[in-house]
């Protein structure tokens, strides 16, 4: 019985399901190895990007908390708490990302300063050029900068 072969570029969803079925049935010689490898690499980069995105939101709120104390509110605290929980879950699901934490914080901080500047209307010089918080502080559930 001949099976139809779905082209990766024509219908990704069908291709992915077809590849999964071939893996499960042991049809290893029928797999589209090059595209599977490409997708796995993309998935890994996506997980790293997710960590950076969560850190960006968290760092933005920590900066706003520190540099706009008169505007502190429950919503900022809730956002800080939520991001910390989501980051902890993400790191638990992807423990090898712990080795990437410093790099992710550096990238996220650069983005967070830009967001904090726009949201607060404070001058760029208000914010430190490098992240003023350690990764332990960033992830610690009781840390709020003063």
Domain range annotation of the chain = 50-139
**Phi, psi torsion values for 3, nearest 5 degrees:** -105, 150
* Distance of alpha carbon 145 from alpha carbon 128, whole angstroms: 13
* Distance of alpha carbon 21 from alpha carbon 14, whole angstroms: 11
**pTM, entire model:** 0.86
* Distance of alpha carbon 47 from alpha carbon 66, whole angstroms: 29
**Phi, psi torsion values for 134, nearest 5 degrees:** -75, 160
Q: How many residues does the chain have?
A: 146
Ordered per-residue pLDDT tens for the chain, 146 residues: 445 577 888 899 999 999 999 999 999 999 999 999 999 999 989 999 999 999 999 999 999 999 999 999 999 999 999 999 999 999 999 999 999 999 999 999 999 999 999 999 999 999 999 999 999 999 999 999 99
């Amino acid at each position: 019985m001949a099976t139809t072969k779905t082209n990766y570029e024509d219908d990704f969803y069908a291709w992915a399901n077809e590849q999964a079925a071939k893996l499960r049935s042991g049809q290893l010689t029928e797999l589209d190895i090059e595209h599977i490898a490409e997708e796995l690499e993309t998935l890994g980069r996506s997980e790293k990007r997710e960590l950076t995105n969560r850190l960006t939101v968290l760092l933005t709120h920590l900066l706003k908390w520190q540099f706009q104390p008169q505007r502190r509110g429950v919503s900022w605290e809730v956002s800080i708490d939520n991001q910390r929980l989501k980051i902890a879950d993400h790191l638990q699901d992807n423990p090898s990302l712990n080795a990437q934490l410093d790099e992710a914080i550096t990238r996220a901080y650069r983005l967070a300063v830009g967001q904090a500047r726009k949201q607060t209307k404070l001058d760029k010089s208000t914010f430190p050029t490098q992240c003023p918080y350690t990764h332990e502080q960033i992830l610690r559930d009781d840390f709020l900068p003063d």
